[in-house]
Structures are given as C-alpha cells and as structure tokens.
Amino acid sequence: MKLIERITINPNQCGGRPCIRGMRIRVTDVLDLLGSGLSKEQILEEMPDLEMEDINAVLQYAASRFDHPVLPAIA
C-alpha cells in the first residue's frame, strides 16, 4: 500500500474530511498533535490504532495539499 492510500475520504464520515484508513481519526487530528509538539511515538501511544506509516501518510498528504504553483501576475 502506498502511503497516500492510507488517507481516505468518505462523505458520510467526519463531514467528508480526510481520515486515516477509514477510521474516525482525521488528518487534522494528527497534524494538530504534531503541531502541539508531540512526537510520532507519543501520538502512537495516544492513538494505538495508528501505525507509524499512517503518520507519515498524514505528512505526505498535507505536503501535497500545499504544493501548488503560484503564478505571478503580469503587469
């Protein structure tokens, strides 16, 4: 399984927000924990259903969402 395939989107679950492997653990939940300073290992302790690959998939997914070109306006 590719990392990005661990991220699932179901319109009937969590308001259609991206989740991890169909569970009700949202990508933003993991990003919030990382942003608050928890290590990957601490997150795995807090959420035993997660795997290290899930956290790596969250980071890859987030990075792909922010990788868009910015085209300068022509004056």
pLDDT in tens, 5-19: 999 999 999 999 999
Say how far residue 53 (Cα) sits from the centre of its chain: 11
Per-residue pLDDT, averaged over 43-63, amounts to 96
Residue 47 CA to residue 70 CA, distance in Å, equals 37
Q: Is the pLDDT of residue 54 over 80?
A: yes
The pLDDT, as a whole number, for residue 68 is 75
Q: How confident is the model at residue 70 (pLDDT cuts 50, 70, 90)?
A: confident
Residue 30 CA to residue 35 CA, distance in Å, equals 9
Bigger pLDDT: 71 or 58? Answer: 58
Q: Which domains does the chain have, with CATH numbers?
A: 3-66 (1.10.10.10)
Q: What secondary structure letter does DSSP report for 60? A: H
For the whole model, what pTM was predicted? 0.85
